[in-house]
Amino acid sequence: MGDLGRMLKESWSLVEEHQDKVAGYFYARLFLSNPALRDLFPVHMDVQRSRLLDAVVRAVQTLEDPEKFDEYLRALGRDHRKFHVEPEHYEVVGGALIEAMRQYAGEQWSVEYDQAWADAYATIASKMLSGAEADTNPPYWYAEVVAHERRAKDIAVFTVQPMQPLEFRAGQYLSVECPRIQPRLWRTYSVANAPRRDNTLEFHVRAVGAGWVSSALVRRLEVGDMVRLAAPMGTMNLDRRSTRDTVFIAGGTGLAPIKSLLEELTRYNRTRWVHLFFGARNREDLYDLAELNRLAARYPWLSVVTSCSDDPTFPGEQGDISEVVARYGPWSEHDFFVSGSGPMVKATLKTLAELQVPSIRIKYDSFTDF
Ligand SMILES: NC(=O)C1=CN([C@@H]2O[C@H](COP(=O)(O)OP(=O)(O)OC[C@H]3O[C@@H](n4cnc5c(N)ncnc54)[C@H](O)[C@@H]3O)[C@@H](O)[C@H]2O)C=CC1
């Protein structure tokens, strides 16, 4: 790690314990110095608060590998156009962030740390700005909900029809907001289909306790509602030139981007074997199994293995999907795509490392909302 990375990590460790207070202070500073900014944020700030800290941690990681995250930051800049963010806002945000950290870091905070954060923030902001400025698309798209289906107690699959075409690549994700239910609260979800001629987009959402947006999208969203969608992001795409057989590993609604990649493969694949591992807590949560079985029956190159981690009488595999993959194989010559919760992705990457799969053949998106 370079000097800058080390300083960011060191200084972050001084405030890590007080994350909530840092976020609270940050927003207070921000809105005080620029009251107009308050209108860009949701009415209730509780959920928003932890988003900032995710962003900070991500920024620290970002700088350790600037090339890898270049496209990520440009896409994030495009995504932020949905907030009507102006270039001068970036400066105000950077100042408030450093001030908030300095406030809670105690005596060990130094001017070098100030400088390190200012440098890091300037790099991030300039990449985001150049991404935003080069974007000729609208800042967001309106889309009408045309289908909404509860597939399990907490899981819904819904389809939207954008008012204008929205270009994306299979495997990408984008921010979604429902102005009727929760104005200005955006969360990212993967598109669960490959680009279609009719432009419709499908999403898979699980309502999780504190995740207000997810719960609303599962329980309150209705056909006829309008949602807003922001610029697509993510690089978990298929490499058409690869001739390797492919392994998809999905945990829960992490199936969404895998489904999208699978749909793309159905359009051109004739030669690659594709193995899909789909894990859920119980059989009810294997919410898309009927459709996966239909695909497997139609495309001889596709095989599907399912597993339940909390359903002892389930007749398929038992255990976390990260472990189940290791029961099959050998996998040393395959391309891998992994999608699910952070811990699921981490556990799966560990398994694959133990199986000697080179990391260059593994694609995954670590999910963080901003
Ligand atoms: N909805 C979407 O568009 C997308 C969602 N995701 C993420 O996918 C996750 C899906 O969540 P749920 O449906 O609630 O899944 P879940 O928490 O019910 O987990 C489903 C399965 O994943 C595996 N798993 C979970 N935690 C694990 C761990 N610590 N170690 C090893 N394996 C583990 C197990 O097989 C488990 O049965 C969320 O975190 C979401 O952010 C990721 C990409 C897209």
Tell me the per-residue pLDDT of 102-146, one tens digit each, with 9 for 90 and over.
999 989 999 999 999 999 889 888 988 999 999 999 999 999 999
What is the domain partition of the chain in residue ranges? 3-133, 141-229, 246-364
Residue 196 contacts by C-beta under 8 Å, 6 or more apart in sequence?
A: none
Question: Which CATH topology does 3-133 take?
Answer: Globin-like (1.10.490)
Atom nearest to 341 CA in ligand 1: 39
Nearest CA to ligand 1 atom 25: 344
As assigned by CATH, the class of the 141-229 domain is mainly beta
- The alpha carbon dihedral of 92, 97, 103, 106 has a sign of negative
Domain 246-364, classified CATH 3.40.50.80, yes or no:
yes
Over residues 363-368, the mean pLDDT reads 72
How many angstroms does the Cα of residue 342 sit away from the middle of ligand 1? 8
Give the tens place of pLDDT for each residue, 46-66: 666 666 666 667 766 666 676
**How many angstroms is it from 362 CA to the middle of ligand 1?**
18
Which ipTM did the prediction report?
A: 0.96
User: Which pLDDT value is given to residue 11?
Assistant: 92
Ligand 1 surroundings by CB, under 6 angstroms: 189-190, 204-206, 251-254, 256-257, 279-281, 285, 307, 309, 320-322, 339-341, 343-344, 347, 367
pLDDT for res 150: 97
Q: Which of 344, 345, 369 to mutate to test the pocket of ligand 1 (most atoms within 8 A of CB)?
A: 344
Mean pLDDT, range 299-328, rounded to an integer: 97
* CA–centroid distance, residue 42 to ligand 1 (Å): 27
3-state secondary structure 105-122: HCCCCCHHHHHHHHHHHH
